[in-house]
Structure 1
Amino acid sequence: NIKSCISNQKTLKNEELRTRYPLFQSSSSITVIHQHYKSTVNIIDELIVKAKQAARYVLDTESENEKTNVP
């Protein structure tokens, strides 16, 4: 089965990467900002300014509840 073969390859690659690289240690100065469809333009503008000033940032686009974000 092609799907199971691809899934197995991804699992093996993931395990290889886990052994090669150390676990991510997050900084204590992390600020979590939740954005959604009700976020105002002013909030979005502030986030753009902060992102331009930041050395590192992460955008997580996945829902914790595994729901798709449908308008």
Structure 2
Amino acid sequence: QGGEARWRAENELPALHEAQRLQLDCTKAADKLGWTPRLSLDQALDLTTDWYLRAAQETAGDALLALTRAQPTANPQ
């Protein structure tokens, strides 16, 4: 998805002192709430890319609201 969309990480600003230690961790949500992710990272990035591409084409707020409400209920493969 995303057609010709590409991204590249660039470190133009000096790193913050804790920047080497920052990472996502859902352990607490899993332990305390029994939460598990519904999507893989690839699926989440695909849905995010799709949303932004479609949002760029839409002008009506209602269409974006419908898209936003529909995506989380999509059945991930």
- TM-score, length-scaled by structure 1: 0.29
**Which structure has the bigger radius of gyration?**
1
Greater share of helix? 2
- TM-score, length-scaled by structure 2: 0.28
